[in-house]
Homo-oligomer: A and B are copies of this chain.
Amino acid sequence: MIAKKGCEHCQGDSCIYKVPIFSSLNNEELMNIARLIDHKQYKKGEIIIHEGEKSNAITIIRSGSAKACRYSPDGKEQIVYIFSEGDFFGEQNLLTERTASYSVEALTDLRVCTLSKNDFQPLLYKYPDISIKILTELSERMYRLENAMQGMGVRNVDYRVASLLLEFAVKYGSKTNEGIIIQMPLSREGIASYLGVARETVSRKLGQMEKDGIIRSLNNKSIILLEPEALKEAIGA
């Protein structure tokens, strides 16, 4: 991990310009905040926070992606979020005294901004819009968690795999004349750990979908959705 104090290298390209939570502020306000921000870089595989650790900063992703996960005592991993550019984490630490409820690990090389608790809290009072943006974003995340909970509670694995592909198609997909090509942020093992099933089960389900002509797997990191409509139907949407 490499850290840089302040924003002297950003030259108007600071992360705060592209982060939704600051989007309601004007230029001068942004400049003031920019001075409070530290920049850091991580290599793929590096851990940014450890579950259970005390942290005193909010971290905002400038580029790259990361997974947030929890581990059970027997070592099983459950991925709870996938963060990409513009997403933030560590906000719990700003409000409560709770330690991190998940670990965050870089899925790619990662550039982030951090803002310490002491610097951040006054901003919430000074600019109520920031709180409201955060509330909006947390609502969005809760919606996803509720969905995931429902998926794991009452849906079978086919449904969950289909949901995941559609979710990734929106976030990491681009249209081609053959279908939607998805740059998968997770390995098969990662997918398994996101859906709460065994790695082998993911292989089998994707294999079946490929036989059925719904998807085509180019390699371990990209999948083409040949029949997105079939997936939407499978999840009843």
Contact = CB atoms under 8 A, between A and B. Distances in A.
Interface residues of A, number: 41
A55 B72 CA distance: 39
B70 A146 contact: yes
A141 interface: yes
Contacts of A142: 92, 138, 141-142, 145
SS class, residues of chain A in contact with chain B: helix
A143 B101 contact: yes
A23 interface: no
Nearest to A150: B78
A146 B101 contact: yes
Nearest to A137: B95
A143 B141 CA distance: 12
**Complex A-B, nearest 9 residue pairs according to Cβ-Cβ distance, in ascending order:** A153-B196, A131-B131, A152-B152, A76-B154, A145-B145, A78-B150, A78-B153, A73-B236, A95-B136
